[in-house]
Amino acid sequence: MVEGGSIESVGSGMKRLLLALLMASSLAWGQGLEIITLRHRSADQLLPQLLPFVEPGGALSGMNGTLFLRASAANQAEIRKLLAALDTPLRRLMISVRQDGADSGSEGGAGVSGRIAIGGGAPALSGTARIYQSDSRSRRDTTQQVQTIDGGRAAIMVGQSLILPLRQVVLTPAGVVVSESFVQRDLGTGFVAVPRLNGERVTLEISPRDDTPGPLPGSVNTQRLVTTVSGRLGEWLELGGTVGEHNASSAGIARYGTQSASRSRRISLKVDELP
């Protein structure tokens, strides 16, 4: 068990042990040990890019803002040259995600109704005929922006919380137990993204989300997308989208009706570099 106040001493002890092992190995291989202090990046960010360039028999490790390099003088010079290009200030980025949506629907039909009046003479028949048609269209466009840095994780979400009824049926040895309660469901529009730069090109791992209340009480329209895209800074990149259609009809002795609805969503994004 590590008691309070001893965590820093454990970290420094590991650092001294690592240095001792590297120095002993350096003497065995005839290589020198160099301790490099990083200026802008962390060791975890740079090690995956530097390790392939370490010579056979050499070693490279690091903690926080320090690298420990065991290599020949020539290989040390090569690693320092690579560091000059990699250990640069983190670039600030603005991620914009645009979600465009359109909903449309139509309903139409015809019906006939009537009545028969019986009096002193012949029966009288009267009736009405009704023909109807209605159309609806709506759009739902949102644009969200969030700042981050090269390699950083960015997330943004806006929406609402709904209280929905929950009914549970549990079969127990004593019989069926039915319980009713309420749960909170968060609905919203947003995304999680991790951008990585290579010159003027950017690669993003992104997961957009778009939830809206459904047509029935307690129902939810949910849209999810997980993808990796690559493109140039400042240009809009298409991520994808969804298209859905619904058609229905009903008929009776004196009536007929039709319903149709469509729902489309399109998602795109761009990354701009901030000064």
Please state the domain count of the chain.
Answer: 2
Residue 21 domain-assigned (yes or no): yes
Residue 76 domain-assigned (yes or no): yes
End residue of a domain, out of 86, 114, 144: 86
Residue 214 domain-assigned (yes or no): yes
Mean pLDDT to the nearest integer, 154-183: 79
Structure-token pair, residue 194: 């991790």
The CATH number assigned to the domain holding 39 equals 3.30.1370.120
d(CA 260, CA 6): 69
Residue 212 domain-assigned (yes or no): yes
Q: Are residues 155 and 222 in the same domain?
A: yes
End residue of a domain, out of 45, 65, 86: 86
Residue 63 domain-assigned (yes or no): yes
233 in Cβ contact with 200 (< 8 Å): yes
- Contacts of residue 190, defined as CB under 8 A and 6 or more positions apart, other chains included, come to 144, 155, 156, 157, 158, 159, 208, 209
Please give the single-letter amino acid code of residue 99.
Q
Of the two residues 168 and 186, the one the predictor is more confident about is 168
Please give the single-letter amino acid code of residue 169.
V
Please state which of the ranges 5-9, 123-127, 144-148, 177-181 shows the lowest mean pLDDT.
5-9
Is 80 exceeded by the pLDDT of residue 188?
no
Position 52 scores a pLDDT of: 93
Of the two residues 189 and 106, the one the predictor is more confident about is 189
Q: Are residues 56 and 111 in the same domain?
A: no
Residue 202 domain-assigned (yes or no): yes
Q: Are residues 53 and 101 in the same domain?
A: no
pLDDT band at 197 (very low <50, low <70, confident <90, very high): confident
Q: Are residues 264 and 156 in the same domain?
A: yes
Of the ranges 59-73, 151-165, 259-273, the best mean pLDDT one: 59-73
Residue 2 domain-assigned (yes or no): no
d(CA 70, CA 84): 18
Position 29 scores a pLDDT of: 52
User: Helical H runs in the chain?
Assistant: 7-29, 43-50, 73-86
End residue of a domain, out of 86, 108, 128: 86
Q: Are residues 117 and 219 in the same domain?
A: yes
Q: Are residues 180 and 207 in the same domain?
A: yes
Q: Are residues 225 and 191 in the same domain?
A: yes
Residue 68 domain-assigned (yes or no): yes
Position 82 scores a pLDDT of: 92
Mean pLDDT to the nearest integer, 170-198: 82
Taking only the tens place, the pLDDT of each residue in 112-154 is 555 555 555 555 555 555 665 666 566 667 788 888 988 888 8
Mean pLDDT to the nearest integer, 19-39: 69
Q: Is 49 helix (H, G, I), strand (E, B) or coil?
A: helix
Tally Cβ neighbours within 10 Å of residue 118.
8
| Structural domain harbouring 218 | 93-273
Q: Are residues 162 and 33 in the same domain?
A: no
Using only C-alpha atoms, the chain has a radius of gyration, in whole angstroms, of 33
pTM: 0.50
Q: Are residues 68 and 97 in the same domain?
A: no
Taking only the tens place, the pLDDT of each residue in 57-109 is 899 999 889 999 989 889 999 999 999 988 888 889 998 888 776 666 566 55
Structure-token pair, residue 89: 């200030």
Q: Is 215 helix (H, G, I), strand (E, B) or coil?
A: coil
Q: Are residues 80 and 133 in the same domain?
A: no
Q: Are residues 68 and 141 in the same domain?
A: no
Q: Are residues 110 and 196 in the same domain?
A: yes
Is 90 exceeded by the pLDDT of residue 209?
no
104 in Cβ contact with 260 (< 8 Å): no
Residues in the chain: 275
